[in-house]
Structure 1
C-alpha cells in the first residue's frame, strides 16, 4: 500500500511540474493562430501552476513591502500564463489589441512605469472579472504578455493599478 501511495505522489508531482516547463510555442490564444504571419517573432511561454506559485508570489510581495490587500489578490487568481515575444512588431501588437476588442475585452488602464508601458485589458462576466490580460513592453520588439484567470472585482483591479501607479 505504501508503494502505491509513493507511486501516486510521484505521478502527481511530475504532472504538476510538467506545466512549469518553458515552451517555444505560444500559450495565449491570439498567438496560437497558425494562419497569422508573425514574421520571425520568437516566443517563450510558461504556464504557471498556481498550486506551487501562490506561496512564492506572496512571499516575494511581502519581501517587496507590498500591502496585504495586494497579496490577497493572489488568492483570487486561478491560472497564470506568461508569454515573452522577441522580434515582434507594432503591427502584431495592433492586431493583438484588435483581436482582444473583437473578443469583448475592455481596456482598463495604460500605465507608464520605469520606462515600460503596461496595458491592462479585462473580460467581465457581470460584475466579476474572469480574465485579465497585461501587456508589458518598452517597445514592440520585446514584449511580455500575462494572462491571469480568476474571480476579481473592479475594486481589486483598481487597487492593483493604484499600487503600480503610486510607486
Structure 2
C-alpha cells in the first residue's frame, strides 16, 4: 500500500512539473491545426498549473497595484494556458477571430494600451462564463493569447474590464 502511495505521488508530481514546461508547439486548438499555414510564425506555449501559480499571481498583482477585481478573478480561475506567437500576421489574427466567432465566443472588449490591442472574448452559458480568451497584439507582429478557464460571472468580467480600461 505504501509503495502504491509513493507511485501515485510520483506520477502526480511529474504531471504537475510537466505542465510547467515551455513548449514550441501550440497549446490552443486553432493553432495546433496542422492544415493551417502559419507562414513562419513561431510559437511558445505554457500550461500554468493553478495549484502552484495562484498564490504567486495574486502576490504579483498586489505588488503591481492591480485592482481587487482582477485579483478576485484569479481566485476563480481553474486553468490558464498562454501562447506567444512571433512573426504572426494580421491574416492569422483575423482567421483566429473568425474561428472564435464560429465557436460561439462573444467579443466583450477591445482596449488600446501603449500601442497594443487587448481583446477580451468569452464563451457564455447564461450568466456562467467558463472560458475567457485574452488576445494581445503588438505592432511588432508579436501576439500573446491567454486562455482562462474558470467559473466566472458576467459581473466579474465587467468589473475587471472597467478597472483595466481606466489605466
TM-score by length of 1: 0.93
Gaps of 5+ in 2: none
Q: CA deviation at 1:65?
A: 2.3
Q: CA deviation at 1:116?
A: 1.2
> Partners in 1 of 2:18 and 2:52 — Cα distance?
12
Pairs within 5 Å for 1:78-89 = 78-89=78-89
> Partners in 1 of 2:140 and 2:103 — Cα distance?
22
> Partners in 2 of 1:70 and 1:117 — Cα distance?
19
Gaps of 5+ in 1: none
- 1:3-46 per-residue CA deviation (whole Å, 9 max, x = no partner) reads 76555433322210100000111011110111111111110000
Residue aligning to 2:23: 23
3-state SS of the aligned residue for 1:29?
A: coil
Query: How many pairs were matched up?
Result: 167
* Equivalent residues of 2:127, 2:154 under 8 A apart: yes
- 1:63-86 per-residue CA deviation (whole Å, 9 max, x = no partner) reads 122333321211211110000001
Pairs within 5 Å for 1:1-167 = 5-139=5-139, 141-167=141-167
3-state SS of the aligned residue for 2:31?
A: helix
> Partners in 2 of 1:132 and 1:11 — Cα distance?
30
TM-score by length of 2: 0.93
* Equivalent residues of 1:128, 1:152 under 8 A apart: yes
> Partners in 2 of 1:101 and 1:67 — Cα distance?
30
> Partners in 2 of 1:139 and 1:115 — Cα distance?
7
Q: CA deviation at 1:61?
A: 1.1
**Aligned alpha-carbon RMSD (Å):** 1.6
* Equivalent residues of 2:133, 2:148 under 8 A apart: yes
